[in-house]
Amino acid sequence: MKRILIFAFVAFVAMAGCQTQTAPAPVAPPPEAAAPPAPTEAPIDPALLGAFAALPAVIESADNPLTDEKVALGRTLYYDKRFSKNHDLSCNSCHLLTQYGVDNKATSPGHKGQLGDRNSPTVYNAAGEFVQFWDGRAPTVEEQAKGPVLNPVEMALADDKAVLAVINSIPEYVEAFKKAFPADKDPVTYDNFGRAIGAFERKLVTPSKWDKFVGGDMAALNDAEKAGFKKFVEVGCTACHTGALLGGHMFQKLGLVKPWPNDKDPGRAKVTNSDADKLFFKVPMLRNIEKTGPYYHDGSVATLEGAVKLMGEHQLGKTLSDADVASIMTFLKTLTGELPTNLIAEPPMPPSTDKTPKPDPA
């Protein structure tokens, strides 16, 4: 009997020990605190966009209506090197259409390698500017197109008669001028030379994501780009850079607040002969500014970062922090547009004849 009781007691203790060793039931962890919402960029006040506009599909002119024939002729003339004295330069030599309309040089080499005294600005969207050249001496791209051809430092043809001699020596050109200017009794003129190139340039438009944003698509820019735009407005860049081109609509004095260190170039005063216009230049547009350096009328500033800092200092009287400059540059890059690759493809040149003037390296 004792053995039975002892065995029962031992069995009970063993069972009790097994029970105390059983793993406890899992306990649910306490709920985690909800993560705070990610900060979001404050929306753009629509009032800030009132000073801007989207680019048009083409930049029309009542004085030079666009036709396919005129544009096609202008494109060929733009690329033709026979309109330079030594047949080695064309409009595209200084305004490369595959490089956002510039050659990325401080100043461009012309006839016999001579350097001009001003930076070659982009031709993209230039037809929308209120005047042409840094000093505004040409009112339209049609007039501007006639300047470099006769400039002795640039393409260096002697006069407009030399231009017409090239055209009239090439039957395909004569026929193309007749098609482009069918109402003219004598279509081969130097003015029509400028009108054809101008018609082509009026189609050199580069829309970007900024145009979608200005057009109402608030998702077209990311938060960093929107912040850059607000910084651009906040520091005062919009005093000069507004409109569809963000510039190109006024003259302004370089060194408005703090004197510019180099006053060698008189600016618009070179045209007007007025001391009041000294150091006034056309405000450059900011379209494709990321791609069109070096900067300023003399190409003296190599980087966009440097250009933004100098503008803050000399035009606004502000020392912009590196963070502010980086933010503004983030916005400026939204102005880099799409190149019209089909339009700018170089066409075949009409062949010369034995009457076509020969290259002259002199």
The sign of the CA dihedral 115, 118, 121, 123 is negative
The answer on pLDDT for 46 being more than 90 is no
pLDDT value at 236 more than 80: yes
pLDDT in tens, 165-177: 999 999 999 999 9
Query: Tell me, what DSSP letter sits at residue 290?
Result: G
Average pLDDT over residues 313-332: 98
3-class SS of residue 79: helix
Q: Is 267 helix (H, G, I), strand (E, B) or coil?
A: strand
Task: Read off the pLDDT band of 39 (50, 70, 90).
Answer: very low
Per-residue pLDDT tens over the stretch 61-70: 999 999 999 9
| Better-predicted residue by pLDDT, 19 or 49 | 49
User: How confident is residue 41, by pLDDT bands cut at 50, 70 and 90?
Assistant: low
Phi, psi dihedrals of residue 353, rounded to the nearest 5°: -125, 180
Strands (E), the chain: 251-253, 280-282
Checking if the pLDDT of 3 tops 80, the result is: no
Q: Return d(Cα 245, Cα 253) in angstroms, integer.
A: 19
Q: Quick check: 87 pLDDT over 60?
A: yes
C-alpha 360/C-alpha 86 separation (Å) is 5
Backbone torsions φ then ψ of 162, nearest 5 degrees: -70, -35
Cβ(157)–Cβ(84) below 8 Å: yes
Mean pLDDT of 223-237: 98
HSE-CB for 225 with a 13 A CA cutoff: 13
State which amino acid sits at residue 10. V
- Percent of the chain beyond pLDDT 90? 87
Flag whether pLDDT at 27 surpasses 90.
no
Using a cut of 0.75, tell me whether the model's pTM lies above it: yes
Catalytic residue numbers read 154
Segment 146-153 mean pLDDT: 98
Least confident of 6-15, 114-123, 239-248: 6-15
Distance CA 191, CA 227 (A): 47
Q: Specify the pLDDT at position 136.
A: 98
- The mean per-residue pLDDT over the stretch 343-356 comes to 98
pLDDT bracket for residue 42 (50, 70, 90):
low
Asked if the model's pLDDT at residue 100 lies above 80, the reply is yes
Relative to beta strand 251-253, strand 280-282 is: antiparallel
Average pLDDT over all residues of the chain: 91
Maximal C-alpha separation, the chain: 141
Q: Comparing C-alpha atoms, which of 300, 285, 308, 5 is closest to residue 128?
A: 285
pLDDT for the residue numbered 274: 98
Give the mean pLDDT of 148-158. Answer: 98
Nearest to 56 by CA among 195, 202, 201, 199: 202
198 neighbors 62 (Cβ within 8 angstroms): no
Rounded-to-integer distance, Cα 103 and Cα 116, Å: 13
295 DSSP β-pair partners: 301
Flag whether pLDDT at 1 surpasses 70.
no
User: Average of pLDDT values for 44-53?
Assistant: 90
